[in-house]
A = this chain, B = another copy of it.
Amino acid sequence: MALVASVRVPARVLLRAGARLPGAALGRTERAAGGGDGARRFGSQRVLVEPDAGAGVAVMKFKNPPVNSLSLEFLTELVISLEKLENDKSFRGVILTSDRPGVFSAGLDLTEMCGRSPAHYAGYWKAVQELWLRLYQSNLVLVSAINGKGTVGEALRCAQTGWVLRGAVGTCSDHRGACPAGGCLVALTCDYRILADNPRYCIGLNETQLGIIAPFWLKDTLENTIGHRAAERALQLGLLFPPAEALQVGIVDQVVPEEQVQSTALSAIAQWMAIPDHARQLTKAMMRKATASRLVTQRDADVQNFVSFISKDSIQKSLQMYLERLKEEKG
């Protein structure tokens, strides 16, 4: 209770109705196609929400071009969309997926962390914390459908190599990504994770590859998911796992052909929604309470920690160089 109370923010931002995609985009299942007819539509500029109120499911699609970086605005819209769904009793489950070809979310937005004021950094980090807290403690069933298509031909080597890879979840070869680890953050808060079986899609927390570090609560989330030893290795090396490795280490629950990601997500969420809500929610809260509480009780200290770290000259310099290299590659 206290946990939830402390993180609530009012839905104070007016949202524009997102363009509604044809049901086919939902995975061509009858449920999705059929449920769309009478369903209310809501969402925002960067978050499309396709409700299927009959099934009690909404599909939340990330649309923050080019690579769904977690900008401050995008973070805010995500939290507000989630809050609207939480407060609408007709929804019990949400599928998180991408509207952008080739990338689920490239992660935190480096431009929010580079060349700005300490106050900006603080505000940004608070929004990142907020998204995690809301998702991780959500009463809704959350399933991530990690989709995407590679748009760059060359394939960089993944995971086991020393290469700097961009895109926390996306194509390993995606040069457009502004980058680390936020996509994996979103996926790790879900109840179930499905990854498209494309060798160019990688998932992981690659902070160290950029010279920065994951916050303790994200470390805790990863450790809860894949265990202490695997998390220690993955975090130290900043590993990004391609599908087969991701499944083996347990950072995702299922790997399916790309065209089946959405339909698999709908089947999976149906299993979770067959459980009585109150029992499932209490059980979820019991499993996650200790981890969430650690951040709730140290939230300000964590912000201070981030601000002082990211403000360092050496870190700013390294992020600057990284961003410039990205620009050159895009140019």
Chain A residues with a Cβ under 8 A of chain B:
160-162, 191-192, 207-214, 216, 219, 223-229, 231-233, 235-238, 250, 253, 270-272, 274-276, 278-280, 282-284, 286-288, 318
Using A237-B272, A275-B208, A287-B219 as known contacts, say yes or no to A229 and B232 having CB atoms under 8 A apart.
no
Using A229-B224, A231-B287 as known contacts, say yes or no to A236 and B162 having CB atoms under 8 A apart.
no
A253 CB contacts on chain B under 8 angstroms? 233
* B271 and A208 contacting across the interface, CB-CB below 8 Å: no
A176 to chain B minimum Cβ distance, whole angstroms, is 23
* B160 and A271 contacting across the interface, CB-CB below 8 Å: yes
A207 CB contacts on chain B under 8 angstroms? 279, 283
Bound Cα distance from A228 to B318, whole angstroms: 36
* B280 and A208 contacting across the interface, CB-CB below 8 Å: yes
Among B192, B211, B224, B275, point to the contact of A276 (Cβ < 8 A).
B211
A225 CB contacts on chain B under 8 angstroms? 228-229
Using A162-B271, A224-B228, A224-B229 as known contacts, say yes or no to A235 and B287 having CB atoms under 8 A apart.
yes
List 7 additional contacts besides A233-B253, A276-B318; criterion CB under 8 Å: A160-B271, A207-B279, A211-B279, A213-B283, A225-B228, A232-B287, A236-B287
Among B235, B274, B279, point to the contact of A162 (Cβ < 8 A).
B274
A215 to chain B minimum Cβ distance, whole angstroms, is 9
* A228 and B287 contacting across the interface, CB-CB below 8 Å: yes
A231 CB contacts on chain B under 8 angstroms? 287
* B228 and A229 contacting across the interface, CB-CB below 8 Å: no
Using A228-B287, A284-B236, A287-B219 as known contacts, say yes or no to A212 and B279 having CB atoms under 8 A apart.
yes
A165 to chain B minimum Cβ distance, whole angstroms, is 12
* B191 and A275 contacting across the interface, CB-CB below 8 Å: no
A318 CB contacts on chain B under 8 angstroms? 276
Bound Cα distance from A317 to B12, whole angstroms: 40
Bound Cα distance from A213 to B280, whole angstroms: 8
A212 CB contacts on chain B under 8 angstroms? 279
User: Which interface residue of A227, A236, A286 has the most chain B CB atoms within 10 A?
Assistant: A236
* B227 and A286 contacting across the interface, CB-CB below 8 Å: no
Chain A to chain B contacts (Cβ below 8 Å), 24 pairs: A161-B271, A191-B233, A207-B283, A208-B275, A208-B280, A208-B283, A209-B275, A210-B279, A214-B286, A219-B286, A219-B287, A224-B228, A225-B228, A225-B229, A232-B284, A232-B287, A235-B283, A235-B286, A236-B272, A236-B284, A236-B287, A237-B271, A237-B275, A276-B318
